[in-house]
Amino acid sequence: MNQQTKTEVDSMRHVWALTFLVVLALGTLACQATATPTTETPLELAETTGEATSIPPTITPVPTITPSPMSPPTPLAESDTEVYLPLVNTESTRDATGSEAYPAPEPTPTRRPKPTPTPELLTLRTDLPALSLPEWPRPVNDNGMCIHLSRNPYPSPEEMDRDIARLQAMKMRWALVLYADENILHMAAPKFAAAGIIPVWRKMLRPYEAYEGGWARDVQIVQQYGLPPYFQIYNEPSLDQEWYEHGGKPEWDDFIGNLMDATEEVYNAGGFVGWQFINQEWLDRALDELERRGGQQVLGRFFFVAHSYGNNHPPEYDLDIHSVLGWRFFAQQFQDRYGFVPPIIVGEGGWRIGNDQDAHYPPIDANMHRDYHVEVFRWFQTGVLSNGEPLPDYLFAFCPWLLSAPMDDSAWFDSYAGDRLMTFEAVKNMPAFVRKFSWEK
């Protein structure tokens, strides 16, 4: 081995020895790192040994993990024992985006409002002109004097002849006539036409009863005999007694459709549409419905039938609707709504002997009954109402209740209470006159 090779071998041995010592030192340090640290601080150790000792880094001990006690395993159930397992939703709760999806709460039900049905529009002729007051047909020698004829919708020809003779004796030119069917019209219409009296026809019908097809036929019958077709459609629909066979209480919904159908049919047949209400709210509601159905043109051939009973108030009493001047409240209702008043005919009214409803006034006796009715008829003679107001052109006639009826003590004739001959004779003895309208003066 030459000198150079020997030198290289010695160098390698030194490297190996040095490497061994380094590894040994590192292992010693590792063992010291795991030993329990002394309670003396580095400063105290230096003071004891008198040597300057470097301060080693503080080593945080690793916490000891104490295992939690484990519950003993649940023993297996016997084969004949029922085991109830919790329900587990095996479906994914994530939505399409990968986000956690939670079920939405059940919606709270909301009460839906009941829809209001759209009313069916009236189908009306377009060839009938609206009538101004002077254009309305009236009887020859019109004096506005009238009476409600009878409560019997089936009068015999003899009864009709007798009652028409009584009208002629009192020089009356109008009558309100209750009828049952077309046979009564065929019997009565030619008699009134021959007497020169214009009837307002009132079909015997309850508010809940329809009369489809009958109205048009009846209008044609009346026109056949040369009479103007004044038709009152229904009677006192808001009054309980008109519903006594139908629950006893007025039902608007059971009435209004009948009224609209009758209005359409009478109008299209060429008749004059007469509405009768004793309740102003019901009149307003009916007019609202007429407008909703597009029937305003009916008002051009429309008249109103008022019921104006005086109770025991004198003729000049005008403080409320309970008077023979009560029709004025309905007239104002039309004026406020449309700016005009249609023809008004008082189809029932006047006084009944014995009435004492208002304690501020004496009961009605036979003398009052006579004098009060004569005064009402004088409105049409003098042109002045009992309260001093001018007689309006739109008041066509006043028809007191009642000419004849066996079972009604209000009747002037044929009543169990006796005939009201004082009143009859006084009206009969009134001088003949013809009513003057403002356009005739």
Residues with pLDDT less than 50, the chain: 2-5, 7, 9, 30-31, 33-102
Q: 38 in a domain, yes or no? A: no
Number of domains in the chain: 1
Q: How far is CA 312 from CA 17, 316, 410, in A?
A: 147, 12, 13
- Record the pTM: 0.75
Q: 87 in a domain, yes or no? A: no
Q: What CATH code is carried by the domain that includes residue 237?
A: 3.20.20.80
Q: Given this model, what pLDDT does residue 118 score?
A: 77
Q: What is the pLDDT of residues 20-49, one digit of tens each?
A: 665 555 655 544 544 444 444 433 433 334
Q: 103 in a domain, yes or no? A: no
Sequence letter at residue 320: D
Q: 69 in a domain, yes or no? A: no
Q: 254 in a domain, yes or no? A: yes
Q: Given this model, what pLDDT does residue 84 score?
A: 43
Q: What pairs with residue 395 in β-bridges?
A: 344
Integer Cα distance of 128 and 219 in angstroms:
15
Q: 76 in a domain, yes or no? A: no
Q: 332: domain range?
A: 142-429
Q: 368 in a domain, yes or no? A: yes
Integer Cα distance of 381 and 384 in angstroms:
8
Which value, in Å, is the radius of gyration of the alpha carbons in the chain? Answer: 54
CA-wise closest residue to 333 among 294, 270, 286, 295 = 286
Q: 335 in a domain, yes or no? A: yes
Two tokens, residue 122: 């009236």
